[in-house]
Amino acid sequence: MSMANPSSSQSVSTQDHLISATNAFFLALASNTCSLTLLTHFSTTHPVTIQHAPALCPHPQTSRLSGLNAVRSYFDLLATNWTRSKMAIRTNPRADAKARRVVVGASVTWMWRRSGREWDEDFTCTLEFDENYKISSLVVKTDSPPETCVMRAVDSAVK
């Protein structure tokens, strides 16, 4: 008679919770949810950071923002200038229960609110979670060409 390894089943459960929290966050993003609601997915018990840069950026840390106010400002900036559509997860989320981390590939179509110009951004997202399955770190690395990174976007249609 074999008994299940409790830490193994706990890891599976943790992985399920991590993936569920990731899916809930992506669903909120895809729905163009307001910044205040997006903040409910972030930790209030741990320092939070967010970073969004091209994967090949030589100094990605220069785009790192810290604190809930900075995270809200990031989402406010996005909502002020662009709309998101066609957000889709491109790869199966890979969860590491011990590190409380999920890595997932996704894509989104951005549209400038002012000109209506659109483009696609493919990215890899690394999310780290606290013990309550709230995001403590969100790192977005643009996999498509650097000019498709929303944080480097230039609206060439506006003079």
Q: Return the domain boundaries, the chain.
A: 6-152
Average pLDDT over residues 110-121: 94
Kindly give the pairing relationship between strand 49-54 and strand 135-142: parallel
Average pLDDT over residues 139-151: 89
Chain segment 75-101, per-residue pLDDT in tens: 999 999 999 999 999 999 999 999 999
Query: Which pTM value belongs to this model?
Result: 0.87
Whether residue 13 has pLDDT greater than 70: yes
Q: Which CATH class is domain 6-152?
A: alpha beta
Residue by residue, what is the 3-state secondary structure of 108-125? Answer: EEEEECCCCCEEEEEEEE
Confidence bin at 1 (pLDDT 50/70/90) = very low
- CB distance 84 to 30 below 8 Å: yes
- Return the pLDDT at 155: 86
Confidence bin at 43 (pLDDT 50/70/90) = very high
Whether residue 28 has pLDDT greater than 50: yes
Cα–Cα nearest to 83, from 51, 63, 108: 108
Average pLDDT over residues 58-77: 90
